[in-house]
Amino acid sequence: MNQFEQQTTRTFRIAIGLVLSVFSIGFIGFHFIIGYGLIDSFYMTVLSVSTVGFEIVKPLTPAGKLFVSFLILISLGSFAFVGSSIVRFFLDGEFVIKLKTSRVSKRIEKLADHVIICGYGRNGEQAALELTDHNHPFVIIERRENVIARIQEDPNLLFIQGDATNEEILRTAGIDRARALIATTPNDADNMFVVMTARSMNSKLTIVSRASEIGSDIKLKRAGATNVIMPERMGGQRMARLVTQPDVVEFMEYILLQRNRDISIHEVNCRKITTANLEKTLGELRIGTATGTTIIGLKNAEGKYVFNPGNEYLLSVQDQLFVLGSPSQVRNLSQYLEGKL
Q: 3-92: which CATH topology?
A: Helix Hairpins (1.10.287)
pTM here? 0.61
**263-337 has which fold?**
Alpha-Beta Plaits (3.30.70)
What pLDDT score does 3 carry? 55
User: Residue 257 has what pLDDT?
Assistant: 67
Out of 51-65, 155-169, 285-299, least confident range: 51-65
| Mean pLDDT of all residues in 179-187 | 93
**pLDDT (tens digit per residue) in 281-307:** 999 999 999 999 999 999 998 889 999
Q: In CATH, what class is 111-234?
A: alpha beta
HEC profile for the chain?
CCHHHHHHHHHHHHHHHHHHHHHHHHHHHHHHHHCCCHHHHHHHHHHHHHCCCCCCCCCCCHHHHHHHHHHHHHHHHHHHHHHHHHHHHHHCCHHHHHHHHHHHHHHHHCCCCCEEEECCCHHHHHHHHHHHHCCCCEEEEECCHHHHHHHCCCCCCCEEECCCCCHHHHHHCCCCCCCEEEECCCCHHHHHHHHHHHHHHCCCCEEEEECCCCCHHHHHHHHCCCEEECHHHHHHHHHHHHHHCHHHHHHHHHHHHCCCCCCEEEEEECCCCCHHHHCCEHHHHCHHHHHCCEEEEEECCCCCEEECCCCCCECCCCCEEEEEECHHHHHHHHHHHCCCC
Domain ranges of the chain: 3-92, 111-234, 263-337
Task: Tell me the pLDDT tens digit for each residue of 242-256.
Answer: 888 888 878 877 777
Supply the pLDDT for residue 7: 64
- Whether the pLDDT of residue 104 is over 70: the answer is yes
Report the C-alpha gap between 152 and 169 in whole angstroms.
18
- Quick check: 95 pLDDT over 60? no
Mean pLDDT (the chain, rounded)? 85
Give the pLDDT score at 93: 54
